[in-house]
């Protein structure tokens, strides 16, 4: 529990029930190796925190942009609550150092699975804050650590999915729609890795990788935007 007190200092929060914060950090895999652990995993808190996060972000966008359409606000909200953004928040807050993980999961860093674990931990911590401190304190936490990223996202159009943005720029500059080709597949059927090339006409702009063709295309589009300084 002493380590958790260090975390509460980092989060600038004082929990009435510190076990709520502890449970928010327990991944299901940890219980497979420690079945007698006195707390359950964090998935119920994650479920609650996801709902709290969505309503607070939605209220913020609805209030700040009274004339914007729901379609645009949906894209903006997605940019704030997606796994990539939330995983970055988890790293900034240092949550990774406090997670209860199995030995396998603890070693498996820098993967898509770890990104989701980190993102889910932010949602479960929000759920714990909500139960322990109420909606207003949860709102302050979300505003300080998540909504605070929105102006940067908006200014840099980071809410646009990379494939859409790459297509938009290619059409604007070259009047051409880019296309993608699978260059290589590796790994067993249950754990494949795809390498995909993004092309403008016959020119290979960038390569991307992913665990699905779509994920590899998004990665290739993102790298194409960087390569062209778009």
Residue 50 among the catalytic residues: yes
- Asked if 21 and 2 touch (Cβ cutoff 8 Å), the reply is no
**List 46, 105, 123, 132, catalytic entry:** 123
Residue burial 18-43, b: 16+ Cβ < 10 Å; e: rest? bebbbbbbbbebbbeeeeeeebebbe
**List 50, 105, 132, 219, catalytic entry:** 50
Cα dist from 23 to 15, 43, 94, 133, whole Å: 13, 9, 16, 15
DSSP 92-159: HHTGGGG-B--HHHHH--SSHHHHHHHHHHHHHHHHHHHHHH-HHHHHHHHHHHTGGGHHHHHHTTTT
Q: What are the φ and ψ backbone dihedral angles of 203, each rounded to 5 degrees?
A: -90, 125
Q: Quote the tokens at residue 153.
A: 């996202």
- Among 98, 89, 99, 91, CA closest to 144: 89
User: Can you name the residues that pair with 196 across neighbouring β-strands?
Assistant: 182, 208
| Residues annotated catalytic, as ranges | 50, 123
């Amino acid at each position: 529990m002493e380590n958790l007190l260090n975390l509460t200092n980092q989060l600038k929060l004082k929990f009435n029930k510190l076990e709520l914060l502890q449970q928010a950090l327990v991944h299901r895999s940890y219980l497979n190796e420690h079945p007698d652990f006195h707390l359950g995993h964090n998935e119920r808190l994650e479920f609650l925190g996801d709902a709290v996060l969505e309503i607070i972000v939605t209220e913020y966008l609805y209030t700040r942009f009274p004339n914007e359409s729901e379609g645009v606000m949906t894209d903006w909200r997605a940019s704030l609550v997606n796994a990539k953004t939330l995983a970055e928040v988890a790293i900034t807050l240092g949550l990774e150092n406090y997670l209860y993980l199995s030995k396998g999961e603890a070693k498996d860093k820098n993967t898509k699975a770890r990104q989701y674990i980190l993102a889910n931990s932010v949602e479960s911590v929000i759920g714990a804050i909500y139960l322990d401190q109420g909606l207003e304190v949860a709102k302050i936490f979300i505003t300080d650590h998540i909504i605070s990223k929105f102006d940067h996202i908006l200014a840099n159009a980071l809410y646009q999915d990379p494939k859409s943005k790459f297509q938009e720029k290619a059409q604007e500059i070259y009047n051409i729609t880019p296309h993608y080709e699978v260059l290589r597949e590796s790994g067993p059927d249950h754990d494949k890795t795809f390498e995909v090339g993004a092309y403008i006409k016959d020119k290979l702009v960038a390569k991307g990788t992913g665990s699905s063709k779509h994920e590899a295309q998004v990665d290739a589009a993102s790298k194409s935007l960087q390569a062209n300084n778009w």
